[in-house]
Amino acid sequence: MMKIMSEGVIDIAGNLRAIQAAIKETTARRANNGAEPTLVAVSKTKSVLMIKKAYDAGQRHFGENYVKELLVKAKDADLNHLCPDIKWHYIGMLQKNKIAQLIGCPRLYMVETISSFEVADSFEKKTKEGTSYQVMIQVNTSGEDSKSGILPSECANLAFHIVENCPKLKLRGVMTIGSFGHDYSSGPNPDFECLRNCREKVCERLKIPLDNIELSMGMSADFKEAVLAGSTNVRVGSQIFGSREK
């Protein structure tokens, strides 16, 4: 439950402690414990001050949905000075015409939304020699028209294409948003199962161990279920910072 201090101020540090404790406890309960998943704090629409409060509480990974907003925050002089090892994840839909701007983002740690062969090739082409970026493949596991991502059946082919033809892109994992509001009383989340299946096919195609490909799945409403399902990265926003502002 998100904590609110007096006068309506969000207790960001307290919220982070509660989420990290839940991640730790849930990791201990899953069949193959493994390492605790990375928590990516989704700071979309949130102020530099709120990001700084989360950073001061020990948070390092932050996710943004829009290139323009990410650049404003990542280039903020105060944030750069006070948060020197912040790690930005781009988690929004990636359009080819935005790639050149995204590449100019300071401390860009990972791009989680490579959703097509065209986007991968464009990213590779626009990246300067001697530079590389960690990326994930976004998979549309729910089949919804409103969701971005490659079809699950093409995920392994795209992974192979990136490894073989895009040396400046370092494939780290697969990611999904999935449909919202799954009823867990009816069984496991099919989006999580689909993404795990995609990882297996990617690893088979690339002939690498499963642990070499990460799973980015789970958000504020279902991050604990995602951890139980094997997620290595969870993206939590409202449970840390409160509801998104318009």
Calculate the alpha carbon distances from 62 to 101, 171, 186, 190, 240 in Å.
18, 19, 32, 26, 11
In a domain, 246, yes or no: no
> In CATH, what number is assigned to the domain containing residue 154?
3.20.20.10
Question: Given a cut of 60, is residue 3 above it in pLDDT?
Answer: no
**Encoded tokens for 2:** 């998100």
Instruction: Check residue 7 and give its pLDDT.
Output: 42
In a domain, 63, yes or no: yes
Q: Do 210 and 180 touch, CB atoms closer than 8 A? A: no
In a domain, 38, yes or no: yes
Question: Given a cut of 90, is residue 208 above it in pLDDT?
Answer: yes
pTM: 0.94
In a domain, 102, yes or no: yes
Number of domains in the chain: 1
Instruction: Check residue 2 and give its pLDDT.
Output: 54
Tens of pLDDT, residue by residue over 9-34, are: 899 999 999 999 999 999 999 877 77
Tens of pLDDT, residue by residue over 147-189, are: 899 999 999 999 999 999 999 999 999 999 988 888 887 888 9
In a domain, 237, yes or no: yes
In a domain, 1, yes or no: no
Tens of pLDDT, residue by residue over 81-95, are: 999 999 999 999 999
Helix (H, G, I), strand (E, B) or coil at 181: coil
In a domain, 17, yes or no: yes
**Encoded tokens for 1:** 């439950």
What range defines the domain where residue 150 resides? 6-179+187-241
Mean pLDDT of the chain: 93
Mean pLDDT calculated for residue range 122-145: 96
